[in-house]
Amino acid sequence: MKKVYITISVLVLAYIVLRAICVPFTHDEAYTYLSYIQVPVVDIILYENPTANNHILNTLLAKLCSIFSVSEFSLRLPAVLAGCLYLYTCYKVCRLLVADHMLQLCFFIALLANTALIDFFSLCRGYGLGISLMMFAVYQCLLLTKADGNNIYKLTHATLLSCMLATYANFALMVPALGLFLFIFLHHYQYERKFWRAARLPFIYGLSIVALCAYPIYRLIKANELYHGGDNNFIDDTMYTMMVDMTDNWVQEPGYRDTLMVPFVLITAISIGIAVYRLIVHKNKDWSFLLVPLLLLFCIIMVNLQFYLMGTKLLTYRTALYLYPLIVVCAFSASQLIKLSLMFKRMSISSLTALLLLGFLLQANIDHTREWWFDSDNKKMLEYIVANRPANERKIKLFTNWLMSYSANYYIATRYSEQIEAVPLEKDNTRNLDLSSFDFVFIRKQDQLPPSMSLGRPLSFDNKRLLLYSKSRSTN
């Protein structure tokens, strides 16, 4: 059976590596490289330039990798290694919580069958790194529920350290980290019955998180950079947008929203409900099955309390993505707490897993990332304009829509600095700009050229969603 897991893991890792090599650098990755990776370490740590694009742990690791190379794969290597950790952790969690081999396999596949999640293990961002560390912390905490003797403190340190690093990779993971800190305190207090002895390790690691993250978060708040998020409710802003990311917009199609959303929300609610019922009514204290459902419930409550009491934005899209593996683990944990026939469990769970796997296979690709589709052809575009540069020896002047400008500048800085000038970072509508001095203009189909501009028939990129205009093309 282990060979099956190894085969799946190798295939998924190969997919991650291929994406890390082949997918063009995206807007946010390029922003991270241009604004953070090239600055001193102290400026990264202290958030000298306070924007949410600086996922500190990922930025520091990418900066380390940039010593050897500034290629896409080198800068994405920390995320790829995080993917390895995620695969290992998922395998161990499945083996720990589920005894039946078929259900184990479904569990493992369900944790991987999310393109939005797996894609972040091939991008120079902190989301994949943070989620892998969070899941490793959950795994260590699950082991802690079964441990005794000296292993208790080893697993406690491993859990708390992983939580600290996960938070440093992505501040959104502070909520599940807090939940695990609370569980460890209660777990130790149950045996030691002394408040300080139970609280000392969570307190020490908690102070470390405050020391690392408090000032950067203060800088973000002061700069009004925590604007990304939802303003409506948890279902529509958090659950719905997470589904949009993992279904490549299918959930937005008429009739699909309720078809996909209702079962997803119901499975989450029922799974948490089963765990709470078993804890309160049946006094079930098998924490290996109760931990993740209660952690997920804690995260949902805290996110909503932050929103309604403190005015914090709700999690959306990629910031909500850490909930997906928690929901999957929660559902499979709950399935072990209810007495149903093994055949029924196998049939129902394998059917749902097959749907997840089908969705993953239909969306899998090695040429773009859904959220940054506009960067899918930036390398092809730059290769074209270098090959078709003006006859004189001066540098090419290129204008792009602001969304594509950072990724274009990454490639210009690392490959084409001798042939192309840096692209201006201009957010104004293209219709209001004077573009007459540029040799090439690269924009989205919905962008408008100034009325005075006549650059001929454009070349199409990315299935005609991106257009490249050139002064040298006189055909109308």
Percentage of the chain lying above the pLDDT 90 cut: 60
Evaluate whether 268 touches 330 at the Cβ level (below 8 Å).
yes
Say what the pLDDT of residue 252 is. Answer: 55
Say what the pLDDT of residue 256 is. Answer: 59
Tell me the pTM: 0.92
How many Å apart are CA 252 and CA 433, to the nearest integer?
34
Query: Residues 461-468: what's their mean pLDDT?
Result: 74
Say what the pLDDT of residue 264 is. Answer: 85
The pLDDT of residue 17 is above 70: yes
Q: What is the layout of strands, in order, in the sheet containing 459-461?
A: 398-400, 440-444, 466-470, 459-461
How many Å apart are CA 47 and CA 43, to the nearest integer?
6
| Bridge-based pairing state of the strands 459-461 and 466-470 | antiparallel
Q: 220-224 long-range CB contacts below 8 Å, 24 or more apart?
A: 220/47, 220/50, 220/51, 220/52, 222/50, 223/50, 223/51
Q: What is the pLDDT of residues 343-366, one digit of tens each?
A: 999 999 999 999 999 989 988 999
> Please, what sign has the CA dihedral across residues 73, 75, 76, 81?
positive
Structure tokens given for 283: 């006094």
Say what the pLDDT of residue 452 is. Answer: 53
98, burial (CB in 10 Å: exposed 0-12, middle 13-18, buried 19+): buried
88, burial (CB in 10 Å: exposed 0-12, middle 13-18, buried 19+): middle
How many Å apart are CA 222 and CA 28, to the nearest integer?
21
How many Å apart are CA 23 and CA 365, to the nearest integer?
9
Query: Residues 231-236: what's their mean pLDDT?
Result: 91
